[in-house]
A and B are shown apart, each in its own frame.
Chain A
């Protein structure tokens, strides 16, 4: 047991999973390595189809990998300790429909009975603020309330390790913040969390460390701040103009003080800069000198989204 206690919460090495549909094969997870320490809130961040759910479900023992090593709380699936592992984890799947005709309380009572020990139904109802819906049937709940119920079922067994697959998708901002609080509270109690999300802000606010996943591989790993710092620039300056045509070229923008990168279009430019206050005055001066009419100027902090874009050239969420 001491060996198991010293081991990381999750350790994945060379994880691989391929789905075959007829002649087509989809490599969902492609040699993925990951180590989640005990007590951390760890986020998997990636676009649709990146392999997040597949990875999480391999960790949960739902899906068998085609290759690679999986250690959950120091144990391996399918070695006769499955029930032990299951007693120690809490799971919120990306999508679950509970029994339609059961009330929130009845659903929680069912799951509570499956674990030898754990929290009380009332305690968990309080954690996800569903007390006033305790008597409502599943089919009468809103999407967000269902999501909170799904998280509540994951907390019932008082797990050491919590898996949350897109727990806040479809929640309003208030419910989302509330759920973040549930996660933090769980962490304060010594728990470990592996969650997936599409929301940069969520990853930034909630996760101690983040793995950016794309096409079944980890392409960046670190704390949110580290990842953003790794861009080498913390800010973006976006300017919309009438037309650069003939008046001003991309090279001249790149040559402005503090500019590290530039994306350039006929009416728009986005500059990656180390500090806003050195670049912006020089930019305005240059535009003025060339008689380019400025329509809009905005600055923002770099986000994990920018990390993803700089790594892959694509956005995390389509249309984002």
Chain B
């Protein structure tokens, strides 16, 4: 191992990356922007009124319709009055979750019950109608869960950090490697005394330095902007980020070890990323999945990274609490790098 060579490769890689503003933005800036946007979208605030539509024959005469009046009276609902055709379109496009027609005495609701918004809208409408018929006496008490740590935003921020590690490993590490191959640059490096191991180590160092600061910045955004709690140890957090980052860098390296075109590696990376986006527990919990979907979710490294991140951010997790998933991720990273190094082709 020639440290001077490793260092030179690392420096060159970092410079090349840093001087490509597009790459810096899409790898690090964009996830940050996404965090901020999602944070404001799902951050702590009163719940939005549930959008529904009342279907009537003549929307112009709707003000005299008692059904419209009752539903409009309820602050939990945002009511549109539409004719049948317009109402159907609003439902198909998802602008409203549910349609109501009929009268106060005999209301009919129409919706696709598998859509979560429809279920919510159905509940709210049922309550509004019952309230109207039975008077104020039977109003159902509601509890709103809004303590920090249990909100969606608290769930989301660790997931976004995990997602960002995935993206950095794939696009920052894997993609660029294939690009260097297509440009004959790897081939040129291969006819120097530089070994594959030295090259990959330097490459990893140069491309990896920004991963950890980025995760810290996202975490700080969450804590400072939306009061996401940080209950565990920062050390454990940094460990998860480092090991998780290596796991995805290893995966990126493995996928890029032989691909000869950037299109080819992009396809492989999408193939790996898509299940993780959907099942990795970023936007919704994957613990309630059943059967094969659950097994699939458990097999994804992102699931374990996100779980460990939530353990140390939302709960008072220490290094010991996450030792098992960390060891598993470390093993995964080692396997990927080992295999990637073996399969690696300069050309």
| A2 within 8 Å of B (CB atoms) | no
Q: Is there contact, CB below 8 Å, between B8 and A110?
A: yes
Q: Is there contact, CB below 8 Å, between A93 and B15?
A: no
| B114 within 8 Å of A (CB atoms) | no
| B20 within 8 Å of A (CB atoms) | yes
Q: Is there contact, CB below 8 Å, between B12 and A102?
A: yes
- What sequence of 0s and 1s flags, for each residue 193-204 of chain B, a beta carbon within 8 Å of any chain A beta carbon? 111000000000
How many chain A residues sit at the interface, stated as a range, is 20 to 34
Residue ID in chain A nearest B4 by CB atoms: A113
How many chain B residues sit at the interface, stated as a range, is 20 to 34
Cα–Cα, bound, A93→B195 (Å): 19
Q: Is there contact, CB below 8 Å, between A106 and B193?
A: no
Cα–Cα, bound, A97→B187 (Å): 10
Q: Is there contact, CB below 8 Å, between A114 and B8?
A: yes
- What sequence of 0s and 1s flags, for each residue 237-281 of chain A, a beta carbon within 8 Å of any chain B beta carbon? 000000000000000000000000000000000000000000000
Partner of B15, one of A62, A83, A86, A106: A106
| B19 within 8 Å of A (CB atoms) | yes
| A109 within 8 Å of B (CB atoms) | yes
A62-B190, A115-B193 are contacts. A97–B183 as well, Cβ < 8 Å? yes
Cα–Cα, bound, A86→B194 (Å): 9
Q: Residues of B contacting A157 with CB < 8 Å?
A: 192-193
Cα–Cα, bound, A113→B206 (Å): 15
| A98 within 8 Å of B (CB atoms) | yes
- What sequence of 0s and 1s flags, for each residue 4-33 of chain B, a beta carbon within 8 Å of any chain A beta carbon? 110111011001100110000000000000
- What sequence of 0s and 1s flags, for each residue 173-197 of chain B, a beta carbon within 8 Å of any chain A beta carbon? 0000000000111011111111100
Cα–Cα, bound, A113→B347 (Å): 22
Q: Residues of B contacting A87 with CB < 8 Å?
A: 193
A95-B184, A110-B12, A114-B8 are contacts. A62–B347 as well, Cβ < 8 Å? yes
Q: Is there contact, CB below 8 Å, between B12 and A106?
A: yes
- B330 CB to nearest chain A CB (Å): 30
In chain A between 80 and 139, which residues have their CB closer than 8 angstroms to a CB of chain B? 83, 86-87, 89, 91, 93, 95-102, 106-107, 109-116, 137
| B2 within 8 Å of A (CB atoms) | yes
Cα–Cα, bound, A99→B2 (Å): 21
| A160 within 8 Å of B (CB atoms) | no
Q: Residues of B contacting A113 with CB < 8 Å?
A: 4-5, 7-8
- B261 CB to nearest chain A CB (Å): 15
Q: Is there contact, CB below 8 Å, between B184 and A60?
A: no
Q: Is there contact, CB below 8 Å, between B2 and A116?
A: yes
Residue ID in chain B nearest A156 by CB atoms: B192
Residue ID in chain B nearest A111 by CB atoms: B192
Q: Is there contact, CB below 8 Å, between B192 and A114?
A: yes
From A86, A101, A109, A110, name the one whose CB has the most chain B CB atoms within 10 angstroms: A110
| A145 within 8 Å of B (CB atoms) | no
Q: Residues of B contacting A111 with CB < 8 Å?
A: 192
A101-B19, A102-B16 are contacts. A96–B192 as well, Cβ < 8 Å? no
| A197 within 8 Å of B (CB atoms) | no
Q: Residues of A contacting B183 with CB < 8 Å?
A: 96-97
Q: Residues of B contacting A96 with CB < 8 Å?
A: 183-185, 187-188
**9 new A-B contacts at CB < 8 Å, known A61-B191, A62-B187, A91-B191:** A62-B191, A93-B184, A96-B183, A97-B185, A99-B15, A110-B12, A114-B8, A114-B192, A116-B2
Closest 6 CB pairs of A and B: A113-B8, A101-B19, A97-B183, A114-B192, A91-B191, A96-B188
